[in-house]
Amino acid sequence: MTEFTSNSSRVTRVGDRKIQKGEAAKPLKSKAQKARSPSPAALRSMLGANLRQLSRQAKSISALCRELGINRTQYNRYLGGESFPRPDVLHRICSHFGVDARILLEPVDSILFKTHVPELNPAFSDLLRRAASPLSEDLLPSGFYRFTRRCFVLDDVYVQGIITISRQNDLTVIKGFDPKEAVLAQGLEVTQQRREFGGTVIAQDDGFAILVSRRGSATTHFNYLAPIPAPEGHFWLGYTARAARDQETARRVERQTYEFLGPRIKDALPAARLAGLCNPDDLMPCIRSLLRIGEPFQS
């Protein structure tokens, strides 16, 4: 850096730039930093591609815009990569789809598979060493699944939703969102935090167990499932149990099935559109058979 003065001002030269007296010098970015920084056009393009993929879950773009409270013309500009949403609008979009601001930077498929996994406490590592070992892809492939179970609080009403299974840090992890209708049925406020759940999959001799919890919550569900041969696809059958006091108005244990849909988000979109509460007659015949509808669970 060199400095020189004239009769009227003091000028500092930084590289090829001249900085007048009183002007703050901005740090120069290296060529490597510039190469790593995505351009505004690239960010808009990534956002548009992700929104187009996420919007396929909606019945229609018009209905989606009404739910989001966003003008249809403006939303089309987001879809086309022509414009950025304001921070408050971006937050509204992310909360609705259950993602975060990384939709500006990464393909949505990779975002859905990322979740924080706590390390196993050393005090239990010897006891759970085998159980905490990674499950093979043959036993439980990474990808999207549909879960089906009876509602804990409503008789003759069933819940279907979508989850993801992925591998992180040598662990097999689960992430998903309860359908809005299922949260409402429990008398809870429908928020992203109430709907989101995640956990760790633990190997068992003839299947696997899952410890599931909600973000910011101290409640835990325990799931156990085992593979079931079925010509209609890849199915797992077991049960889910919630940690709750014994109540006459709600059950704590229900049979549950998992159905593997595929490794890509587009494989799960048809099932995602049907997620929510349904009647037994709306279920696939093979799922009705596995859940043994009408038979009480033998605890």
Supply 253's token pair.
């244990």
Note whether 143 and 215 are same-domain residues.
yes
User: What total of structural domains would you count in the chain?
Assistant: 2
Same domain, 129 and 106: no
What is the tens place of the pLDDT at every residue in 123-136?
555 555 555 566 78
Q: What digits encode the pLDDT tens for the residues 5-33?
A: 444 445 455 444 555 555 555 555 555 55
Is residue 277 in some structural domain? yes
Residues 198, 138 share a domain: yes
Q: Assign residue 165 the CATH number of its domain.
A: 2.40.128
Residue 130, in any domain of the structure: yes
User: What is the pairing mode between strands 276-278 and 158-168?
Assistant: antiparallel
Domain membership of residue 82 (yes or no) is: yes
78 and 187 fall within a common domain: no
Q: In what order do the strands lie in the sheet with 17-20?
A: 2-5, 10-14, 17-20
For residues 51 and 92, state if they share a domain: yes
Kindly report the average pLDDT of the chain as a whole number: 78
Query: Are 197 and 267 part of one and the same domain?
Result: yes
Whole-prediction pTM value? 0.61
Per-residue pLDDT reduced to its tens digit, 29-74 = 555 555 567 788 888 898 999 898 888 767 788 988 998 999 999 9
> Predicted confidence band at 145 (pLDDT cuts at 50, 70, 90)?
very high
Residue 131: its pLDDT value, please? 56
More confident of the two residues 252 and 133 = 252
Same domain, 225 and 182: yes
Find the farthest-apart pair of alpha carbons in the chain and give their distance in angstroms, rounded: 96
Domain that includes residue 90, residue range: 40-112
- Do 90 and 162 have their domain in common? no
